[in-house]
Structure formats: structure tokens, C-alpha cells
């Protein structure tokens, strides 16, 4: 898992090795500051005064290419690094952006957690299907997964890929919203039990649909 970014995220919060991060260049853009001044704050203030173990954990030197193709440095920051950097950013506008960033970091943390939990459940999900069919076929797995996607998204996996221009990605999970990822994790866990207890595919679909509706989350196309 890498380069995850929340849908419609104008704040540039992504992830690396399962940790939400944001680039100093994006922060400078959002807060209407010169990137060179943000770099100066990081290198001359934070790196000078903050403990080394904190800066090593929460700031990582990286780079980006400008319009001419030249590589320029920036820093990738964790939530804690971002909070320390922006602590001195004042004013109503700055406060609004800081709150928006904190919310975005929290959403990304939940998003990553749901994806990891859904992935952890997958071997048990697969095993349940294999034990139910004497000769498991590929479509037994794909049909079960597609059923969950249709309930949650209101469309098939193929349709979701086409609607979001995802090409031939192996999984759509990284492209779901936090609510959708949470719903996938929940229905997948319920379906593990249903596969054993309810052999009929359409009846499982009916039960899962009712469970989804009961949680008050509508399908999002």
C-alpha cells in the first residue's frame, strides 16, 4: 500500500508505509506561504530546537520536479510534524486550514485502518468460500466480492473502474471513500458467517443488503 490519497483531497494528504503524510510544498500552497520560507522554518527552527528523534520520525526529506523538470527539495511530514510546523501560523484562515488538515489526517488514518483490517480478513473470507464448494471456481470468489461491491457502491467492480478511470488495477479498495471502506470491512465479515450458514447466493445478498441499509449508509455511485 502506497500513494493512497483520499477522494477529492485538495490538501494533498497521502500515505507512506501506512502512515498519513503531507508535503511541505502543498502546505505552503494551502497556507499561501512561500515554500522557501516553510523550508526555512523546518530547517532553522524545528530542526534546531526539536529533539532529533522527533524530527527523524516526523520529517523526511524528499523532492519534486518543477515546471522545467528541475528537482527541488521538500519535506514529507506526519500529522505530528505538520502540527509542530503550523503551530505558529495564526489568523482565522490559518485556523480553518489547520482544522481541515487535522480532519483529513484523521480520515486518512481511519481509511488506512479499514483497508488493513479488510485485507486481514481476506484469507478467512477465501477459506469460507473454498469450504463451501466441493470444486471452488474463480467465479465463486469474484461473484461474492462483486456482490458486496454492488450493495455498497450501487455498481459492479468493472463499472466502478470505468466510472473512475482506474484502468486494470487489481483492486478497487484503495480508491474507496472512508465510509465505503468501512462498509466493505463490515459486510465482508458478516458474509464469512453467511457463506457457511446460508448456501443460497441470493438469500445472502438479501441479508447483506438489509444489514447495509440498517447501518444508514446509502450506495454511492
- Is the model's pLDDT at 22 over the cut of 80? yes
- Residue 120: pLDDT band by 50, 70, 90 thresholds? low
Q: What angle do CA 168, 174, 175 make, to 5 degrees?
A: 75
CB 35 within 8 A of CB 25: yes
Please write the tens of the pLDDT for every residue from 137-195: 666 777 888 898 899 999 988 898 899 888 877 678 778 888 888 888 889 889 888 98
- Is the model's pLDDT at 60 over the cut of 70? yes
Burial category of 38 from C-beta neighbours within 10 Å (exposed 0-12, middle 13-18, buried 19 and up): buried
Domain boundaries, the chain: 2-89, 109-214
pTM reported for the whole predicted model? 0.59
- Residue 59: pLDDT band by 50, 70, 90 thresholds? very high
- Residue 37: pLDDT band by 50, 70, 90 thresholds? very high
Q: What is the CA 58 to chain-centroid distance, rounded?
A: 19
Residue entry with cell 473454498: 130
CB 31 within 8 A of CB 89: yes
Tell me what pLDDT residue 10 has.
82
Dihedral pair phi/psi, residue 16, rounded to 5°: -145, 120
Contacts with 209 (C-beta within 8 Å, 6 or more apart), sequence order: 151
Amino acid at each position: 500500500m502506497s500513494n493512497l490519497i483520499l477522494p477529492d483531497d485538495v490538501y494533498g494528504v497521502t500515505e507512506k508505509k501506512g502512515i498519513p503524510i503531507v508535503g511541505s510544498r502543498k502546505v505552503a500552497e494551502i497556507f499561501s506561504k512561500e515554500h522557501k520560507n516553510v523550508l526555512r522554518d523546518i530547517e532553522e527552527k524545528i530542526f534546531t530546537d526539536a529533539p532529533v528523534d522527533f524530527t527523524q520520525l516526523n520529517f523526511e526529506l524528499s523532492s519534486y520536479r518543477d515546471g522545467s523538470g528541475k528537482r527541488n527539495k521538500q519535506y514529507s511530514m506526519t500529522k505530528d510534524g505538520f502540527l509542530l510546523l503550523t503551530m505558529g501560523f495564526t489568523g482565522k484562515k490559518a485556523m480553518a486550514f489547520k482544522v481541515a488538515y487535522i480532519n483529513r489526517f484523521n480520515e486518512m488514518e481511519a481509511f488506512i485502518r479499514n483497508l488493513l483490517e479488510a485485507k486481514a480478513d481476506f484469507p478467512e473470507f477465501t477459506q469460507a468460500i473454498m469450504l463451501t464448494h466441493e470444486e471452488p471456481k474463480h467465479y465463486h470468489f469474484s461473484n461474492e466480492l462483486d456482490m458486496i461491491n454492488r450493495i455498497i457502491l450501487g455498481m459492479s467492480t468493472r463499472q466502478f473502474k470505468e466510472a473512475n478511470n482506474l484502468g486494470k488495477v487489481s483492486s478497487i479498495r484503495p480508491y474507496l471513500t472512508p465510509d465505503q471502506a468501512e462498509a466493505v470491512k463490515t459486510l465482508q465479515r458478516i458474509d464469512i458467517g453467511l457463506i457457511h450458514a446460508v448456501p443460497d447466493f441470493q438469500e445472502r445478498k438479501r441479508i447483506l443488503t438489509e444489514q447495509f441499509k440498517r447501518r444508514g449508509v446509502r450506495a454511492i455511485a
